[in-house]
Structure 1
């Protein structure tokens, strides 16, 4: 079994659609392998994929690479994926199957409070982020957990592009359908998937992300954040 580092936190019909979307994503990744799989959702909203078959080991590794994995025990110095659970004046709290604090000093994303950093980089709640685990609190050898260098580079790259509108609580297909129905088919390049329910609308040079947010916000029951270069 692999527990994927992306959350399924919506309810009702939206939860059923999201689960169906996850099954399709998993099938796209491992459907050509000699395996059978079953998708479930844990009590903490992390989905699990049970895999059987000749290529089960390969399939698990493919899913770990694509989504990241929630593991029972974190090892100091290793890189993992956690979802942005909450934030305060001191930093971010990531959910990696257990809470992991990333202090403001260990973000490496420039000046400002955690709230200001979240605004600058358009970080919606539950977005998956890669981090390096420092160790358990109280361990004399523990160091502060920090955002992974590759994650910092990715977020910095967002601010050098043409602009983004980041969205949570919706699948990639739902976001694309909403943009098209709202008459914005020409106002985005693509929708990049961060997690199952966290997406990024990549805008062309002549599209204003705040204007796009204002136009489609009423159609998406979601948190929306802009990245403006």
Structure 2
């Protein structure tokens, strides 16, 4: 079994659509392997994938690479994926399946000046977005920090033409909303950040705040802009 580091936190019909989307994503990743799989959702909203078959080990490794994995125990110095649970002036708290969460102090985010709240706004980080981090020492003498690769990815966001980040919706739902609202020409693609967290990549002549104002009423979600 692999517990994927992406959350399924919506309810009702939206939850069923999200589960269908996850089945398709998992199928796309491991469908060519000799395996059968079944998806469940844990009490903490992390989905689990039970895999059986001759290629089960390979399939588990493919899903770990694609989504990140929630593991029972964290080892100091190792890199994991957690979802952005909360934030305050002093840092981020990531949910990595450890109950109270993993706290990353502002100084360990490595994303420039400002409080953690200001950094979240600058990089358009919506709640529940998966983020890679390096776990600190058990005795807290060395705090957890955002992984170098994650810092690089987020810095790249601010060097592009702008983004609109969204949670609580699948990639297909975001694309359909943009097209239905008349914005088919106002985005390059929708990048999947997590199962229910997406990043709308804008072309040079699209203003992310303007796009947010236009489609916000159609998406019952948190929306955050990245403006270069």
TM-score for both structures, normalised by structure 2? 0.98
Structure 1 residue 143, shift from structure 2 partner:
1.1
Give the alignment of 1:4-153 within 5 angstroms. 4-98=4-98, 99-136=101-138, 139=139, 142-153=141-152
Q: Give the Cα separation in 2 of the matches to 1:68 and 1:150.
A: 14
Report the secondary structure of 1:174's partner residue.
helix
Unaligned 5+ segments in structure 2 are none
Aligned-partner Cα distance in 2 for 1:135–1:45: 27
Answering whether residue 193 of structure 2 is matched by residue 194 of structure 1, we say yes
Runs of 4+ in 1 over 6 A off after TM superposition: none
Where 2:166 maps in the other structure, the secondary structure is strand
Aligned equivalents of 1:204 and 1:89: distance in 2? 32
Q: In 2, distance between residues paired with 1:16 and 1:135?
A: 39
Equivalences, count? 226
Q: CA separation in 2, counterparts of 1:134 and 1:149?
A: 14
Aligned equivalents of 2:137, 2:6: Cα separation in 1: 22
Tell me the SS of whatever aligns to 1:115.
helix
Q: Counterpart of 2:191 in 1: which secondary structure?
A: strand
Secondary structure of 1:178's partner? Answer: helix
Q: What secondary structure sits across from 1:101 in the alignment? A: strand
Displacement, 1:54? 0.2
Equivalent in the alignment of 1:3:
3
State the distance in 2 between where 1:9 and 1:88 align.
Answer: 21
Say which SS state the counterpart of residue 63 (structure 1) adopts.
helix
Measure, in 2, the Cα distance between the counterparts of 1:26 and 1:157: 27
Structure 1, gaps ≥5 residues long: none
SS of equivalent to 1:122? coil
Structure 1 position 135, deviation (Å): 2.4
Q: Compute the TM-score of the two structures, normalised by the length of structure 1.
A: 0.98
Q: What is the rounded CA distance, in whole Å, between the counterparts of 2:119 and 2:219 in structure 1?
A: 24
- Confirm or deny that 1:174 pairs with 2:173: yes
| Cα drift, residue 153 of structure 1 | 0.3
Q: How far apart are the structure 2 equivalents of 1:115 and 1:151?
A: 17
